[in-house]
């Protein structure tokens, strides 16, 4: 699942083996006394929570790749733009590469003005920006420089080209912020963690020798259930 604005959305998983996870999430949102309330569902095709990044109070990035489809992103964008939850939805094409499973393996927010990012993807990706058009329609244009579009400082994956590839495989950019500039990260990604610390971020490390084998990092294993307005 994922949350944009005040309402959660139950994801549609790309793998049938993970369908039960979405069913369990739906049950939690429906019955937990602290979470019960309106839930959005009905996505027409796979779209997983790891591909959704709330950039700020008006912009949402959604990855399109092996786990999330363009059809689902278009459906989500139409809903967010129609009800005013977002002013812009940016569809970010991702390489169909095991090292780039979701958008949150490439970029995660560390603060409102700081993120981590994997340079080879940020430098080469041409994304599609969706905004409300005339008559309630959707207009689309191209974002040629994704890093510039973000409008925040980017802490790049640490190391030289080989080191960056290695730490990308180890989910170096998949950190979860507990508070502004306080993150949980895998201990094995030393070079990236050092760069975060140099940028003024407190890094709380957790062991990763076994967790990393399943792909995904601290951000993959969490889901916000509440968010202060940005």
**What's the rounded Cα separation, in Å, for the pair 174 and 90?**
19
Active site residues: 220
**What's the rounded Cα separation, in Å, for the pair 230 and 222?**
19
**What's the rounded Cα separation, in Å, for the pair 208 and 128?**
34
Question: Where would I find the beta strands (DSSP E) of the chain?
Answer: 2-4, 7-9, 52-54, 59-64, 88-93, 107-111, 114-117, 127-132, 138-143, 153-156, 176-179, 182-186, 202-206
- As a whole number of Å, the CA-based R_g of the chain is 17
Handedness of CA 139, 145, 147, 149 (dihedral sign): negative
**What's the rounded Cα separation, in Å, for the pair 83 and 95?**
31
């Amino acid at each position: 699942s994922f949350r944009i604005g005040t309402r959660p959305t139950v994801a549609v998983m790309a793998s049938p083996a993970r369908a039960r996870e979405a069913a369990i999430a739906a049950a939690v949102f429906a019955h937990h006394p602290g979470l019960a309330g309106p839930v959005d569902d009905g996505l027409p095709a796979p779209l997983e929570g790891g591909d959704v990044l709330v950039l700020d109070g008006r912009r949402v990035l959604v990855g399109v790749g092996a786990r999330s489809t363009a059809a689902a992103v278009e459906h989500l964008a139409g809903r967010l733009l129609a009800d005013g939850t977002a002013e812009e939805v940016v569809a970010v094409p991702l390489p169909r590469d095991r090292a780039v499973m979701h958008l949150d393996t490439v970029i995660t927010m560390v603060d409102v003005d700081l993120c981590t990012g994997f340079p080879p993807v940020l430098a080469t990706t041409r994304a599609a920006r969706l905004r409300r058009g005339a008559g309630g329609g959707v207009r689309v244009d191209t974002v040629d420089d994704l890093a510039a579009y973000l409008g925040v400082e980017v802490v790049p994956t640490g190391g030289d080209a080989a080191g960056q590839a290695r730490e990308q495989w180890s989910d170096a950019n998949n950190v979860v912020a507990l508070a502004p500039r306080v993150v949980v990260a895998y201990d094995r990604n030393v070079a990236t963690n050092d760069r975060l610390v140099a940028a003024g971020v407190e890094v709380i490390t957790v062991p990763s020798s076994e967790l990393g084998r399943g792909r995904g990092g601290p951000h993959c294993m969490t889901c916000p259930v509440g968010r202060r307005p940005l």
